[in-house]
Amino acid sequence: MNGQNVRWGILGPGGIASTFAADLPLVPGAELAAVGSRSAATAEAFARKHGFARAHGSYADLAADDGVDVVYVATPHAFHLEGAMLCVEAGKAVLVEKPITLDLPSAAQLVQAARTRGVFLMEAMWMRLNPAIRKIAELVAGGAIGSISAIHADFGLQGPFAASHRLRDPALGGGALLDLGVYPIHLTHLILGVPATAHAWAHLTPEGVDENTGVLLGYASGAVAALTCSINGASKNTASITGTDGRIDLPEGFMVPRSFVLNRPGRAPETFELPFEGSGYQFEAAEVQRCLLAGELESPLMSHDTTLEVMNLLDTLREQVGVVY
């Protein structure tokens, strides 16, 4: 690191990396240091577009760049482990796009490698770092809506997607659950933790990935969560958290909210506005930088345990619906 500045590298300059890179200048102290791709031309074009200082024609060269402090791994799901492990073994801090890997064993392998080498690692579940989501968690923890009884959330994209699209290609970790279902599941985990029971049903594509999935989670407290995700229809993409003393409603695009409504009996609905610039990726980047500058190896807001608990749940659900990678 250079003083209070943190030097960023990006591994896998695709669409999500482009959005992340566009938000990085919103983070004080973020330096756009280097980009790594399997194609030198692709890396150079990305670096020019977003203002990165250097471009590398291989992931290994990026991992070996002494002018990079932390690497954002933005390849498709199936290649997260390979790219992240390369960086961890080179001693680089790593922010890995969600889901961190395809399954619990590989996620645990990556976490253990980071801990053994003493380098920072975080899964890029940006929703949990969003200001509105953090405010909701604070309100719930403070008893604003009483004891939680139910969570409802859905995330569906309008299809159809071609069989070769990453959302349908099993070789790329395709399917609704790992790409979209992680948002309803992470919201539920943030509020209620690990469920006592988990049940899922899904309709699979001819390629064998889930295209329309329902999940029902049960908790020892008596709370339930009813969650859906799909790649064959645009749902409302909203969420609600119901408690014994009220309800919090998240609007369309609940995974990146700029507002929410607190409803309580006998009171007027209270709208919380938490606007921000950009697409919302700057908050996870800022948390990474805070941790690095403080010498922390994981974030309390998106811990290793959280990553492993959610991945364990995803494995359970995926086994129930019959999706195999």
Residue 127 has pLDDT above 80, yes or no: yes
C-alpha to C-alpha distances, 118 to 3, 115, 149, 185, 200, nearest whole angstrom? 20, 5, 40, 29, 37
98 classed as catalytic: yes
- Residue appearing with tokens 């290649």: 79
Say how far apart CA 7 and CA 120 lie, in whole Å: 14
Residue 122 has pLDDT above 80, yes or no: yes
- pLDDT, tens only, 17-41: 999 999 999 999 999 999 999 999 9
The whole-number pLDDT of residue 1 equals 82
The whole-number pLDDT of residue 107 equals 98
Cα 46–Cα 50–Cα 53 angle in degrees, nearest 5? 85
pLDDT band at 320 (very low <50, low <70, confident <90, very high): very high
The whole-number pLDDT of residue 11 equals 98
Q: What is the DSSP string of 34-48?
A: EEE-SSHHHHHHHHH
What are the residue ranges of helices labelled H in 90-130?
104-117
- Give the pair of three-digit tokens for residue 17: 């990396």
The whole-number pLDDT of residue 285 equals 98
- pLDDT, tens only, 197-224: 999 999 999 999 999 999 999 999 999 9
- pLDDT, tens only, 141-196: 999 999 999 999 999 999 999 999 999 999 999 999 999 999 999 999 999 999 99
- Residue appearing with tokens 């195999």: 324
Q: Tally helices (H) and strands (E) across the chain.
A: 10, 14
The whole-number pLDDT of residue 99 equals 97
The whole-number pLDDT of residue 41 equals 98
- pLDDT, tens only, 67-83: 999 999 999 999 999 99
Region 101-117 average pLDDT: 98
- pLDDT, tens only, 245-290: 999 999 999 999 999 999 999 999 999 999 999 999 999 999 999 9
- pLDDT, tens only, 79-98: 999 999 999 999 999 999 99
Residue 3 has pLDDT above 80, yes or no: no
Residue 4 has pLDDT above 90, yes or no: no
Q: Are the CB atoms for 255 and 127 separated by under 8 Å?
A: yes
- Return all residues near 45 (Cβ < 8 A) that are at least 6 apart: none
92, 98, 135, 236: the active-site residue? 98
Which DSSP helix (H) or strand (E) runs through 52?
A: none
